[in-house]
Amino acid sequence: MGNQGGKRPLEGIRVLELGSLIAGPFATRLFADFGAEVIKVESSEGDPLRTWGRISPSGSSWWWHVQSRNKKLIGVDLRQSQGQQIILDLIPKVDVIIENFRPGRLAQWGLSYEVVSEINPEIVYVSVSGFGQTGPYRERPGFGNIAESMGGLRYVTGFPDRPPLRVGVSLGDEVAALYAAIGALLALLQRERSDVRRGDHVDVALTEAVFSLTEGSVTEYIHTGAIQERSGNQLHRTAPTNIYPTREGRWIAIGANSPTTFPRLLRAMNRRDLEGDARYADNLSRVRHAEELDDLIVAWTSERSMGELLNVLTDAEVPAGPVMNVRDIANDEQFRQRDMIVEVPSAQLGSVSMPGVVPKLANHPGSIVHDGQELGHDTNYVLKTLLGFEDARVDQLRAAGVIA
């Protein structure tokens, strides 16, 4: 397994995860990768992610084993008052809460930011929701597909003669998770810098996280009235940048849209006759003639194999790469050598292959100690070691269905 040997930068930080599925748990996974002690709270039914996708021999999805790696898992019924009290007992012992319930749900259970920050003023409380904690849509349920649609991403994804298209992964949730992690780290840094160690309430909306990715589109609309439309694999702002067919039926991505790379592409294509062509003299001209320019590139790439194209383009210093499926990635030497495909110890399965840690830190790297484990794996540790509960009390809570 990669990324071993150094002290991880978030060791000593304890995070309480109150959430399920993707956005909140993905954010806490980033904390866990870099050494934070993450305590994930599940209901007695378990996180629904345990049933999403292909199921491993453990009975949980393979995705679960990735998403919940490095975490301590406790089962607590937050609908019961005794379950709510367990969380309140934990509040003085944690630095960060990351939750992705619908706004108002935790308040109904007596676990709002206002209540929690009274108990522990230093706590950083991160709320991830569809539309944020304020505004007229705050109480609406919101998943990633809604956010990708309302945040403008799906409208511009796909081809102009076809319906809007989703990206093949849960991009809205995962972008929101990145903002949640960044927001928590910002609040922790500010807390450490301040004379008064005060935490903060970080509010992340999935729709806003997606909208933040739409580059200059809203500025262009407000100032020019232009609405960006679907353009397939072309970009309307720069050219040439697209995917092109190879002789064996694969696809190669080529990006030669800068003033220095475009002439190098022409030389690689043996088309120096086009270097003085006014149609391709600058980026704006190339954008206006993007379709005919792509036709020229297609005629060139379709007569050559992927290996030949990569060799020629790499030698010419033109950015290029194959469109890769997951099998290609799993066997790619670049991903392998950078520890992006790692074998992780698993108490249930022996070992599990999964994506490695991002980003790479030279002196204080992240690492993966274990995969996601069974429901309630660490309930006894948390209740007995962290909270000091006696065996009899733990047994009573388990018998009453408060804990798993």
Q: How far apart are CA 387 and CA 87, in angstroms?
A: 10
Q: How far apart are CA 298 and CA 294, in angstroms?
A: 6
What backbone torsions phi and psi does residue 209 show, to the nearest 5 degrees?
Answer: -60, -45
90, 18 contact by CB (below 8 A): no
- Long-range CB pairs of 224-230 (<8 Å, 24+ gap) are 228/155, 228/156, 229/156, 229/160, 230/155, 230/156, 230/157, 230/158, 230/159, 230/160, 230/162, 230/164, 230/165
At a CB cut-off of 8 Å and minimum separation 6, what does 392 contact?
none
Q: How far apart are CA 263 and CA 282, in angstroms?
A: 11
Quick one: how far is CA 259 from the chain centroid?
33
What is the DSSP annotation of 333-355? Answer: HHHHHTT-EEEEEETTTEEEEEE
Q: Which of 47, 173, 203, 339 is catalytic?
A: 173
The two three-digit tokens of residue 175, written as one number: 């972008």
The two three-digit tokens of residue 130, written as one number: 């569809």
Q: How far apart are CA 251 and CA 249, in angstroms?
A: 7
What backbone torsions phi and psi does residue 153 show, to the nearest 5 degrees?
Answer: -75, -45
The two three-digit tokens of residue 48, written as one number: 């629904």
Strands (E), 130-240: 200-205
Inter-axis angle of helices 23-33 and 171-193, nearest 10: 50
Active site residue 173: yes
At a CB cut-off of 8 Å and minimum separation 6, what does 358 contact?
340
**Pairing relationship of beta strands 200-205 and 124-129 according to DSSP bridges:** parallel
Quick one: how far is CA 394 from the chain centroid?
36
**Pairing relationship of beta strands 37-42 and 14-18 according to DSSP bridges:** parallel
- Provide the annotated active-site residues: 173
